Amino acid sequence: MIKKNIWRLCFIADSEAAADEDVLRLIRRAALGGATMIQLRGKAWTTRQFLAIGREAGQILMKRRIPLIINDRVDIALACPSSGVHLGQLDMPISEARRILGRRALIGISASTPAEARRAEREGADYLGVGPIFETASKKGLPKALGIAGFKAICRLVGIPVLAIGGISRSNVLEIMKAGADGVAVISAISSAHSPVQAARELSEIISRYENRPSRNGVIPRRGLARP
């Protein structure tokens, strides 16, 4: 059983961005600080390395009811205690991933254009990772940054949860939430911070204050909910 509002703060635990920092240690610290979802990414890992780390990460996060999402690798997602997979535009089609992982698995898709976002929703994605919003050095070969206006346009097109990614920090997370995000996905904002726990906590607190702001009808409802 996982928490319902899982979209607000996703930490992407990336093997390359972690540098000398142990990935599992970073995952523990991000979770302690308030991360609500962890995506595990290991482009340079062997299959056995990825599986071993994925299994340990899954055990850590199960105790906190925080979903573990595996980047790209449907086989790893199936073999370890994960909640699903996050796929890129050139990875396995959503329909095949769904057939392998089952109806209850969370399947996210990266999208950088309105067409990609609409297609992912039509094909059954549970959520989108949209970006890059701003320029970022965390990943090479990314499309041109969308900016706030481009991101807002995509949010208006789809009804599934949208996580913003790319160059997100404490200084701009509020602007991103106001643009229509259901949450944010970050790498260096946590992994490169002097205190990953404090960095995650500060981001989580900013998002929480935005989510719980008063409106004429009480608390503004969130669009993004996890599968029951």
Residues with catalytic annotation?
41, 110, 139
Q: What is the three-class DSSP state of 141?
A: coil
CB atoms within 10 A of CB 198: 14
**Residues 48, 52: Cα–Cα separation, whole Å:** 6
Omega before 221 within 30 of 0, i.e. cis: no
Helical residues (DSSP H) of 11-113, grouped into ranges: 23-33, 47-62, 74-79, 94-101
Alpha-carbon gap, residue 98 to 156, rounded angstroms: 26
d(CA 130, CA 185): 9
Looking at the DSSP assignment, which residues form a beta bridge with residue 183? 163
* Residue 201 vs residues 36, 83, 189, 191, 224: alpha-carbon distances, Å: 11, 23, 11, 13, 21
C-alpha distance from residue 211 to each of 27, 112, 165, 203, 218 (Å): 24, 25, 18, 12, 11
